[in-house]
Structure 1
């Protein structure tokens, strides 16, 4: 699937949702399926990874050559989304902690898991 086809498929899913022809759950499933299909057609050693954790990190999908690289890309995206990464907190208002690949804590980002899709 090329980029234009993926965009058209997502637009179609959104149109069906807006017209009341599809539920939110159906729309989510369809758009995730489009993203997975598009992302898995990349050539090379890259794979698709999804983050699972609190807040904006949860459900983030990235394409990366390794789990470590995927974790770093998710971390970068989460930091970009935060107005001030040093102020990151979880849903309870507590300082969020990220475990790095070497097991050390990084208080700038929330803790999350990476799964290969």
Structure 2
């Protein structure tokens, strides 16, 4: 999914929420799904990696060109990351 498609999907979900035909929980689920699809189907040299470990990083997804770069990105985002691993998001 490219950026424009993702934005269109989010805009459509927001319009339906504003019209009253979608609940907030439905909106949140759809927007989260759109963002996850965008991140995991990202085109280019970057790949999505998910951090697993301590509560401060568990589930955090970052885009990076390698596992090493993904670990560094997580550490840059979370100052008290502790011990964690990163895995490619499939």
Deviations 1:40-96 (A, max 9, x none): 23223x2110111222311111111111110110111112xxxxxxxx4xxxxxxxx
Aligned to 1:49: 49
Provide the secondary structure at the position in 2 that maps to 1:73.
helix
Where do residues 30-69 of structure 1 align in structure 2 (5 Å cutoff)?
Answer: 30-39=30-39, 40-44=41-45, 46-69=46-69
Distance 2:60 2:33 in 1: 14
Aligned to 1:113: 85
Aligned to 1:9: 9
Q: CA offset at residue 10 of structure 1?
A: 4.1
RMSD: 2.6
Name the count of aligned residue pairs: 81
Length-normalised TM-score, structure 1: 0.53
Length-normalised TM-score, structure 2: 0.66
The 1:17–1:50 alpha-carbon spacing in structure 2 relative to 1, beyond 3 Å, is farther
The 1:23–1:73 alpha-carbon spacing in structure 2 relative to 1, beyond 3 Å, is same
Q: CA offset at residue 6 of structure 1?
A: 1.9
Distance 1:58 1:74 in 2: 10
Specify every segment of 5 or more residues in structure 2 that has no aligned partner in the other structure, as ranges: none
Specify every segment of 5 or more residues in structure 1 that has no aligned partner in the other structure, as ranges: 80-87, 89-108
